[in-house]
Homo-oligomer: A and B are copies of this chain.
Amino acid sequence: MTNTQLSLIQIDNYGPWTVTPEPRREMDLQTLQSRLFADLAQFVGSRDGYVFFTRFDNMVAVTNGLDESDHELMQESIGNRYPVSISLGIGVDPSPVDALETATTGLQRAGSAQDGDRREVLAGTTLAERERTPTDLQIAHFDVNDATGKYTDQLNEFDSFIHIEQGYASLMRHLREEHGALSFFVGGDNIISVCPEMREEAYRSAIDHVEGDVGVELKVGVGVADDVQEAGMVAKHALEECRHRGTVVEIETPRPDVELAED
> Which residues of chain B have C-beta atoms less than 8 A from A158's C-beta?
60, 97, 100, 176, 182
Cα-based distance from A114 to B25 in the complex (angstroms): 28
> Which residues of chain B have C-beta atoms less than 8 A from A50's C-beta?
26-27
**Taking the complex as formed, is A211 at the interface, i.e. its CB lies under 8 A from any CB of chain B?**
no
**Taking the complex as formed, is A155 at the interface, i.e. its CB lies under 8 A from any CB of chain B?**
yes
The answer to whether B113 and A148 have CB atoms under 8 Å apart is: yes
- Size range of the chain A interface in the assembly: 35 or more
The answer to whether B30 and A186 have CB atoms under 8 Å apart is: yes
Cα-based distance from A186 to B42 in the complex (angstroms): 22
Q: A23-66: contact bitstring with B at CB < 8 Å (1 yes, 0 no)?
A: 11111111111110111011111100111011111101000000
Question: Which residue of B44, B58, B155, B187 contacts A152 across the interface (Cβ within 8 Å)?
Answer: B58
Cα-based distance from A23 to B157 in the complex (angstroms): 25
Cα-based distance from A236 to B26 in the complex (angstroms): 9
- Shortest distance between the CB of A247 and any CB in chain B (Å): 17
For A34, A35, A45, A104, the residue with the greatest tally of chain B CB atoms inside 10 Å of its CB is A34
Q: A42-B43, A156-B101 are in contact. Are A114 and B148 (CB under 8 A)?
A: yes
The answer to whether B34 and A51 have CB atoms under 8 Å apart is: no
Tell me the nearest residue of chain B to A183, going by C-beta: B158
Tell me the nearest residue of chain B to A154, going by C-beta: B108
Stretch from A74-82, A128-136, A198-206, A253-261 contacting the other chain:
A74-82
Cα-based distance from A187 to B39 in the complex (angstroms): 17
**Taking the complex as formed, is A166 at the interface, i.e. its CB lies under 8 A from any CB of chain B?**
yes
> Which residues of chain B have C-beta atoms less than 8 A from A162's C-beta?
172-173, 176
Q: A157-174: contact bitstring with B at CB < 8 Å (1 yes, 0 no)?
A: 111111011101100110
Q: What are 26 A-B pairs with beta-carbon distances under 8 A?
A: A19-B240, A25-B229, A26-B45, A27-B46, A29-B80, A30-B51, A31-B38, A32-B80, A34-B53, A38-B38, A42-B42, A42-B77, A45-B77, A46-B77, A55-B160, A55-B161, A57-B187, A58-B152, A83-B83, A97-B156, A97-B158, A103-B156, A104-B156, A112-B153, A162-B172, A165-B172
Among all A-B residue pairs, the 10 with the closest Cβ atoms: A27-B45, A56-B187, A28-B80, A23-B236, A34-B38, A101-B156, A104-B156, A34-B34, A31-B38, A30-B41
